[in-house]
């Protein structure tokens, strides 16, 4: 039986070998939720599955939509209907205007956007047929506004935010809920190459996972934190660009970011 804190019996998590999603998988499993952990085959995925009897590894490449559909079907056949699908596969590549890594940009867009879309395609039809389910998509606060050195990652997360908004509108009345998870900087290997001085209000993976799981059972449209960064970037997004660009430059100079 799942802990009463979590209303899901079976959760499917993509990007499960990553720091945040791996931490969420462990916390759900500790509460009795059956967790299907998906990522490309790796020692990290194997170690995650070995850490709990409630976690089962279902290796797959999120960039292969047919393989991901087959993976979701296998999860449901072995563990039961997927109540929660957390689509969290992602990557970060620094963006340097003096030495643009075009291939890194394309890889970032593919994993962060196509990986999410393929996950939706794999799990949503069955949820719609049942008339119930919960999609959780991992975005980022930095998808709300351009940020120096963040051209590829920010662009990919802006696409994810737009996709989530569109899905939310279309899912009304279907019984399927959608939650967009937008954290700020989290101290993970994903952004280890990012200048530590530029990580605003950085948090640990444990705190990030805890904050997500505190709110996710209520099925809100968005979980966004930390509040200081969320407020600033959402304000920037809604300002005229003649005002937002100077504001970002001022903020960067004032904070040393």
Instruction: In the chain, count H helices and then E strands.
Output: 9, 7
C-beta separation of 127 from 177 below 8 A: no
Domain 10-255, CATH homologous superfamily name and number: NAD(P)-binding Rossmann-like Domain (3.40.50.720)
Catalytic residue at 153? yes
- CA dist., res. 158 & res. 154, Å (int): 6
- Could you tell me which of 128, 121, 12 has the C-alpha nearest to residue 66? 121
* pLDDT value for 184: 85
Catalytic residue among 144, 153, 194, 221: 153
- CA dist., res. 252 & res. 76, Å (int): 47
- CA dist., res. 177 & res. 200, Å (int): 31
Domain residue spans in the chain?
10-255
Residues 6+ apart with CB under 8 A from 199: 185, 187, 191
C-beta separation of 212 from 181 below 8 A: yes
- CA 66 to chain centroid, in Å, comes to 21
* pLDDT value for 1: 41
Blockwise average pLDDT, block size 10, the chain, 257 residues: 76 95 97 97 96 98 97 98 96 91 96 97 98 98 91 96 98 98 78 55 86 97 93 94 92 73
- CA dist., res. 248 & res. 150, Å (int): 13
* pLDDT value for 196: 53
Other Cβ atoms closer than 10 A to 4: 9
Give me the sheet containing 10-14, strands edge to edge: 55-57, 34-38, 10-14, 84-87, 133-138, 176-183, 222-225
* pLDDT value for 189: 62
Structure tokens at 38: 């998906």
- Residue 178 zone, left/alpha/beta (φ > 0; ψ -120 to 50; rest): beta
């Amino acid at each position: 039986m799942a802990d009463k804190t979590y209303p899901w019996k079976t959760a499917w998590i993509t990007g499960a070998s990553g720091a945040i999603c791996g931490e969420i998988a462990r916390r759900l499993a500790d509460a009795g939720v059956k967790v299907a952990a998906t990522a490309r085959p790796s020692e990290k995925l194997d170690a995650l599955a070995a850490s709990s009897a409630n976690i089962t590894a279902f290796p797959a490449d999120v960039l292969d939509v047919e393989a991901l559909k087959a993976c979701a079907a296998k999860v449901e056949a072995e563990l039961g209907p997927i109540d929660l699908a957390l689509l969290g596969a992602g990557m970060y590549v620094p963006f340097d205007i003096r030495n643009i890594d075009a291939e890194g940009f394309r890889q970032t867009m593919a994993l962060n956007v196509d990986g999410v879309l393929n996950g939706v395609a794999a799990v949503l039809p069955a949820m719609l047929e049942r008339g119930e389910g919960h999609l959780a998509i991992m975005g980022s606060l930095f998808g709300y506004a351009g940020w120096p050195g963040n051209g590829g990652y920010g662009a990919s997360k802006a696409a994810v935010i737009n996709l989530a908004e569109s899905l939310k509108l279309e899912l009304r009345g279907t019984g399927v809920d959608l939650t967009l998870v937008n954290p700020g900087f989290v101290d993970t290997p994903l952004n280890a190459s990012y200048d530590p001085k530029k990580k605003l209000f950085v948090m640990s993976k444990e705190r990030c996972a805890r904050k997500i799981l505190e709110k996710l059972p209520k099925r809100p449209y968005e979980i966004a934190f930390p509040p200081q960064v969320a407020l600033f970037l959402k304000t920037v997004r809604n300002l005229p660009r003649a005002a937002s660009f100077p504001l970002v430059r001022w903020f960067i100079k004032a904070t040393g970011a």
